[in-house]
C-alpha cells in the first residue's frame, strides 16, 4: 500500500475553509503532487485499498499520513447532507423547547405570576437563582450519566422529565411550590445542552461543529421570539386559568410529546444509522478519526474523564465562560424587563422583545458560519463580547425617554449575548480529541457558562428599574474583561502554533494533523491549537 506523507514538508499556505478547501501536499521527493484533495486523489487513483493506517501514537512530522483517510469530497458532502437532514431538525426542536422553558419566566412575570403566587420582595430573583443552582451543580453528574448509558436514553429522558416539571409548575399555589418545581426542572435541564454538544462531536468534524451547535443554540435566542409570540396570544385568552398557567401547560405538553418523537427518530451511533449505506458509515468513521473532536466508541474511563482538571487551560476557558454567561442570562431572563423601561403595555412589551431575539439568532448563525469557514474561534468570540459591551454602555448612558437609541442598544445586546456559547463550546471541544476529556470539559465548563444567572439575578433588582443603569454598567465591565481574557488566550495559542512550526520546519495549522494522533493534546509535539 502506498501512502502520501508530509515527510517534513509543509503545505503551501494556510486554509480558511473549514470543509472544502483542497489540500496541497508535497511528497518526500519535493515534487509537487496533484492539486486535488489528497484523500480524493488516493481513493480515486487506486493507491489506497480502503484499509486505514493507524496513526494513534505518532509524534513525528514525517509520520503524518493523510492518504489512508480514503474518501472523496463528494462522498463527504453527500454524507454531511444526510447527517444534517436526519439530526439537526430534531436537535434544533429539542433545544427550542429547552430554551422556551428557560425564557418563559420573563413572560410569566409580565403577566403577574409573581403577584398571583404572592412572591416576596425580590422573589423573582430568588427563583432565578434557585433555578440556576442545578445548572451549575448537576451538569457533571448528568453528563457522566450520558457518557455511561448513552445519549439515546438521556436526551429524550431529560426532555420528558423537565416537560412534566413545567406542567406541574402551572398547578403550584405559592412561592415555595414554584421554587421546588423550578429546582427540579433545572436538574433535568442541566445535562441537556452539554449532552447535545457531546452527541454532535461524534458526527461532525471540527470545521463543521460551530455551525451545527449554532443551529440548535439559535433556539436560545429564537425561543425568546417564540415565547413572546405565544405569550402575546395566550395572555389575551379568556380563561379561568391565568395566562402564565396556560403558557406553562402548552410548552410543557409539547416538550413531552417531542421527547418521544426524538427518541424514536434520532440516530444514536454510526453503525446503527439506518439511513447510511455501508460506505457512508465508513466515511463517517474516517472523518471522525481525521478531523473531529470525536473518536471511535470507547468505554467510559473515570481517570481520563477527570484528567482535564490538571490542565491550566481548563481554568482559562472556565474564566471565559463565566464572563460571557452574565450577558446570556440577561438576554434570557431580563430582556422583557429591560424593554419595559419604554413604558409600553404588558402585551406590547412582550411583542417588542421578538425583533431583538430574531436579530440575535441571525448574528449567532452568521458568526458560527464565519467561524467554521475560517477555522477560527477566539476572535469570533471577542466580537460577540464587544457587541454586548457597546450595547450595555449605550443603554446605560441613554435616557429612558430616548426609545429609539435604547431599542437599538437592546439589539446590540441580544446580537452579542447569544453567540458566545456556540463559539466557546466549539473552541474547547475542537482542542480535545479524547472522548472522556471532551465529555468532562463540556460538563465542567457548562457549570461556569450557567453561572451568569446568579450574577444577573442579583444585580437586576427591582430597585434599579426601570433604567437598570448600574446593572448594565456591571455587565459592560464584565464583558470588557472577557474581551481581554479571550484575546490574550487566543494570541497565546497562535504563538504556540508558530513556535512548534518553527521547531519542526513546517507551516501547519490544526487541519494538518489528524485528531486520531492527538489524544494526549498539547503534550504531543504534533498538536496544533484550533485557534
> DSSP of 272-291, one letter per residue?
T-TTS-HHHHHHHHHHHHHH
Distance CA 20, CA 8 (A): 24
Q: What sign does the CA torsion over 201, 202, 205, 208 have?
A: negative
Q: What is the pLDDT of residue 488?
A: 97
Which of 74, 507, 46, 525 lies closest to 283, judged by CA? 74
Grid coordinates representing 419 are 453567540
Q: What is the pLDDT of residue 224?
A: 65
Q: What is the pLDDT of residue 393?
A: 94
Phi, psi of 205, rounded to the nearest 5 degrees:
-75, 170
Q: What is the pLDDT of residue 40?
A: 34
Question: What CATH architecture does domain 69-291 belong to?
Answer: Up-down Bundle (1.20)
| DSSP-assigned letter for residue 292 | B
In order of 77, 111, 236, 323, 459, the CA distances from 246 in angstroms are 44, 11, 11, 35, 30
The distance from CA 206 to its chain's CA centroid, rounded to whole angstroms, is 13
Q: Which residues contact 322 (CB under 8 A, 6 or more apart)?
A: 448, 449, 451, 452
Q: What is the pLDDT of residue 24?
A: 35
Q: What is the pLDDT of residue 5?
A: 43
Residue 109 burial (C-beta neighbours within 10 Å; 0-12, 13-18, 19+): buried
Alpha helices by DSSP H, listed for 430-468, are: 435-449, 452-459
Q: What is the pLDDT of residue 485?
A: 97
The answer to whether residues 375 and 530 touch, using CB atoms and an 8 Å cutoff, is yes
Length of the chain: 531
Q: What is the pLDDT of residue 27?
A: 33
Q: Helix/strand/coil (H, E, C) string of 146-198?
A: HHHHCHHHHHHHHHHHHHHHHHHHCCCCCHHHHHHHHHHHHHHHHCHHHHHHH
Q: What is the pLDDT of residue 57?
A: 66
Q: What is the pLDDT of residue 41?
A: 30
Which of 529, 59, 478 lies closest to 313, judged by CA? 529
CATH for 304-530 is 1.20.1250.20
CA angle 20, 24, 25 (to 5 degrees): 130
Which of 222, 184, 477 lies closest to 362, judged by CA? 222
Q: Which residue has the cell 446590540?
A: 412
Q: What is the pLDDT of residue 53?
A: 59
Q: What is the pLDDT of residue 490?
A: 97
Same CATH fold, 304-530 and 69-291?
yes
The distance from CA 340 to its chain's CA centroid, rounded to whole angstroms, is 29
Residue ranges for the chain with pLDDT beneath 70: 1-58, 62-68, 103, 220-222, 224-225, 293-298, 332-333
Task: Domain ranges for the chain, please list them.
Answer: 69-291, 304-530
Grid coordinates representing 377 are 474561534
Distance CA 60, CA 41 (A): 24
Neighbours of 359 (CB within 10 A): 18
Grid coordinates representing 245 are 398557567
pTM score over 0.85: no
Q: What is the pLDDT of residue 18?
A: 38
Q: What is the pLDDT of residue 361?
A: 86
Amino acid at each position: 500500500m502506498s501512502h502520501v506523507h508530509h515527510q517534513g514538508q509543509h503545505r503551501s499556505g494556510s486554509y480558511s475553509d473549514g470543509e472544502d478547501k483542497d489540500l496541497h501536499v508535497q511528497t518526500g521527493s519535493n515534487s509537487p503532487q496533484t492539486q486535488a484533495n489528497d484523500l480524493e486523489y488516493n481513493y480515486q487513483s487506486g493507491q489506497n485499498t480502503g484499509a486505514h493506517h493507524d496513526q494513534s501514537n505518532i509524534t513525528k512530522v514525517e509520520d503524518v499520513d493523510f492518504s489512508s483517510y480514503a474518501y472523496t469530497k463528494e462522498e463527504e458532502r453527500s454524507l454531511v447532507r444526510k447527517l444534517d437532514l436526519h439530526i439537526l431538525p430534531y436537535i434544533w426542536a429539542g433545544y427550542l423547547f429547552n430554551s422556551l422553558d428557560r425564557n418563559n419566566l420573563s413572560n410569566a412575570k409580565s403577566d403577574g405570576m409573581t403577584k398571583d403566587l404572592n412572591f416576596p420582595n425580590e422573589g423573582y430573583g430568588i427563583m432565578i437563582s434557585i433555578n440556576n443552582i442545578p445548572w451549575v451543580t448537576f451538569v457533571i453528574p448528568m453528563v457522566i450519566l450520558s457518557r455511561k448509558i448513552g445519549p439515546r436514553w438521556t436526551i429524550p429522558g431529560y426532555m420528558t422529565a423537565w416537560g412534566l416539571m413545567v406542567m406541574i409548575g402551572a398547578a403550584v399555589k405559592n412561592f415555595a411550590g414554584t421554587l421546588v418545581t423550578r429546582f427540579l426542572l433545572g436538574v433535568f435541564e442541566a445535562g441537556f445542552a452539554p449532552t447535545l454538544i457531546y452527541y454532535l462531536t461524534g458526527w461532525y468534524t471540527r470545521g463543521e461543529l460551530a455551525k451545527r451547535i449554532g443551529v440548535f443554540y439559535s433556539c436560545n435566542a429564537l425561543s425568546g421570539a417564540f415565547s413572546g409570540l405565544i405569550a402575546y396570544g395566550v395572555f389575551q385568552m379568556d380563561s379561568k386559568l391565568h395566562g402564565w398557567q396556560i403558557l406553562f401547560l402548552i410548552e410543557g405538553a409539547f416538550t413531552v410529546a417531542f421527547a418521544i418523537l426524538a427518541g424514536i427518530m434520532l440516530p444514536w451511533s454510526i453503525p446503527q444509522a439506518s439511513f447510511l449505506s455501508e460506505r457512508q458509515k465508513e466515511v463517517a468513521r474516517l472523518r471522525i478519526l481525521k478531523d473531529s473532536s470525536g473518536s471511535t466508541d470507547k468505554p467510559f474511563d473515570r481517570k481520563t474523564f477527570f484528567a482535564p482538571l490538571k490542565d491550566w487551560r481548563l481554568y482559562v476557558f472556565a474564566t471565559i465562560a463565566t464572563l460571557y454567561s452574565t450577558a446570556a442570562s440577561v438576554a434570557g431572563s431580563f430582556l422583557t424587563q429591560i424593554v419595559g423601561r419604554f413604558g409600553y403595555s404588558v402585551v406590547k412589551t412582550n411583542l417588542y422583545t421578538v425583533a431583538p431575539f430574531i436579530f440575535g439568532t441571525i448574528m449567532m448563525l452568521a458568526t458560527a458560519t464565519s467561524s467554521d469557514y475560517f477555522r477560527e474561534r477566539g476572535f469570533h468570540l471577542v466580537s460577540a463580547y464587544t457587541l454586548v459591551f457597546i450595547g450595555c454602555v449605550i443603554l446605560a448612558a441613554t435616557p429612558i425617554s430616548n426609545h429609539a437609541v435604547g431599542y437599538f442598544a437592546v439589539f446590540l445586546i441580544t446580537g452579542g449575548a447569544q453567540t458566545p456559547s456556540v463559539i466557546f463550546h466549539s473552541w474547547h471541544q475542537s482542542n480535545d480529541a479524547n472522548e472522556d476529556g471532551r465529555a468532562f470539559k463540556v460538563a465542567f465548563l457548562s457549570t461556569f457558562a450557567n453561572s451568569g444567572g446568579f450574577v444577573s439575578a442579583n444585580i437586576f433588582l427591582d430597585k434599579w428599574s426601570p433604567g437598570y443603569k448600574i446593572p448594565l454598567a456591571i455587565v459592560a465591565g464584565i464583558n470588557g474583561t472577557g474581551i481581554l481574557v479571550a484575546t490574550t488566550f487566543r494570541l497565546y495559542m497562535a504563538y504556540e502554533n508558530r513556535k512548534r512550526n518553527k521547531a519542526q520546519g513546517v507551516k501547519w495549522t490544526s487541519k494538518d494533523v489528524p485528531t486520531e494522533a492527538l489524544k494526549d493534546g498539547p503534550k504531543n509535539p504534533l498538536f496544533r491549537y484550533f485557534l
